[in-house]
Structure 1
């Protein structure tokens, strides 16, 4: 049996995958199951099977991007769902893991990539976020929230879930009018504007993206709140001042493990004595890992999804409290499904902006990320920190009460 056949036999047990090889041979793997997709693919070159066996994520993604793997029945989301649902993180099959040699080489390279000094961090951010706002307008909500939404109901709209996310985070910050808030990794400014509008706080948002900063500043001007909601193009490491609250949503994934200590030390330095911080980040459900080659090469160079244990090593010994931790398991999967569907609906527009390989790359990124939250080992963590043990109420009741109060006003 060829290695690729052995790989498919191990990886696909339920549901069916039909594979047509470059020589015209067709083989089927798995057993029909109404709860699993039925997908057919075709390889157009003889090199694809070997590339997939050596490194499944990179081999499949590049073959799909460049037309060397064609999906003839089903679609990309169904293909990746079939693969990840057959190999759920909690089942630990290991069938989709890269080979030992590839894993060792990637591990060394990623450690170097993730050191993320200030200059490299700026370049990494520009790689992903400065590729044109027009793309993001095609799949994000109107507020351009490019992070995990919060679904009170899995069937609610993306717009409602992103609004609920902002309320969920705001309630944990225990805000009062007149407070000074720092938003690290402010994106296009939506969270900063929301916090000011809801609580009357002054907000400084910081980012390393040229396109984001222009949009964020313009939004504050258009809303007539530029005196209270300000934005700067600056690395968090270079910031000075004191803030009553710090919020960071979807930025920690770009920090890199070698800089975790620096990040938490700086945040503690910037917090007032009674200060509170809310950190929202993608995380690994298990232990430390390695960023897959597709993501590191095409999507988030220098990026890394931390295990909870790695986050803990960043703040331990700095003498401020982790006062709350919440794990959001499926929410990002639901979010990414919305983004994927909107991207597919705008296929022609995206190809006109870029080209077809870029479109294929982007939907692979969204579909792969979606299935990693629905069936893989990715979750979202929301961690709350305080310098002072008396800075917050002693029970979590205030969070729910405040969240309901905010929702009632909308």
Structure 2
């Protein structure tokens, strides 16, 4: 069987520290040098989406106060292209959001943790100098366990009660759970309305807010109900990370690490050198990590929006990780924690298959440990639980479980169902009880 190849919650206090079904496909993605001809410099402040752009040392990155002009990464989807604005203090720049508002009605979807911190600031950004715009809000409970149909209906209830029309704009203010639910609501309300993402966690800023994946969980599987629906823009105000708890910050780093492993070796090597700076919340380090992650994802999404093959490689560790989240109960483990453990399992399986060497496997374990992320699934997960949950994973096709595994040197991966099943059994048995 052919395989797809790819190379290249907040707290109220400051923290102390294609269109065809998914299938195997023979798409090649050369390491760190892919499809450069499709990229362009979109303005003086916009950065070319280039997997080989140099990783500066943190000391030489632009200082936080150097400029209020945002970095802009473009997601190239033809007439549905949109910008990702990245920078400090962007919620204090109303023009950025207001240029993407349609009509006069806006609804902000957020949660009980983020609302006291950033809802008023967001409403001001939407209405400052723009008195014709009225803003409603929906404040949902905080946590993965609330990413469900009941809370999705609360968004619809408020929208219908407020008589929002087709020219309204939905704004997601929060982490990945809020972004996914608000986006799915926007995709469904009146069969599709304008949508903006304002991610406030590392996880959402580097991954879930970009690319148009929206949806809710089902008791039998994570993200099983949803739609591909792109936003009008993504606004990443890095100041929102100042109130993010350490555990949430570390969780988001799992997705940052992923990009380096699957397609950007230089970025992974930069992370190995700069992980202490990221954990210390160095603004320059985070500005670069967010930019580089968004560039990587934007490029993949522009080439494979509906996940027919290449985009699936962005799910390294997610098949095992989603099984962990479902098995232990949504919200018990943060998404990035589960993905980190899942990445270790995917790397272990890649090693059993002989597809990567000892050194790469050790480097993955080391960087996840340094990022204060789990290196194994919870002890309550059994082999039987993993197999049962993974059997309904979205990447199963014709009864075959396809996985994203590392193959070759750093920065290379495959998406395939063509592997020795004994290797999967060996990995599951190494990490779990029967």
Tell me the TM-score normalised to structure 1 length: 0.29
Compute the TM-score of the two structures, normalised by the length of structure 2: 0.27
Q: Which has the larger radius of gyration?
A: 1
